[in-house]
Amino acid sequence: MQACLVSSDGQTTISLKNDITVVGRKQGVCDVFLDRGNVSKLHCLIIKTDGLLLVRDLGSTNGTLVNGQRVSRGALLPGDELSFASLTFQVQFGVEMSDSTPAERTEAMPVVPEPGVVESVSEDSDSSDSFDAFPLPEM
């Protein structure tokens, strides 16, 4: 999954490439370095796992906010606003794909019932209704 944070003014985009991203103002330790006094040295973690984007505050002084609400941890959805002290970003994510990779399409495939499955259900049924009233199309 590809994810990024876009600043509220649209001037800065932070790509979240790692499975775990450390956000804060401690240079050399944080993956996302925010040089602001109101951002804690180790402010929060952003975690990508199983197609989800999660945030966990690391005990920051000024808090981590999702859509204006202070959180200790939570899931992030596309379009959510994520704030670290006075800095606000919009969460965006989508499918990873390089320019050389053609887009894949999902195509519908016909469902072919296993022989005898419908017959065995209708024979064992105690109901007077019959599956014959709903015949399966020929494949």
- Is this structure's pTM higher than 0.75? no
**Is the pLDDT at 120 greater than 50, yes or no?**
no
CATH class of 2-92: mainly beta
Tokens at 24, concatenated: 């804060």
**Is the pLDDT at 31 greater than 60, yes or no?**
yes
Looking at residue 18, what is its pLDDT?
Answer: 93
What does the pLDDT look like over 34-77, one tens digit per residue? 999 999 999 999 999 988 999 999 999 999 999 999 999 999 99
Q: What percent of the chain is modeled with pLDDT above 70?
A: 67
Instruction: Decide which of 118 and 39 is more confident.
Output: 39
Residue 38 C-beta-side C-alpha neighbours within 13 Å? 9
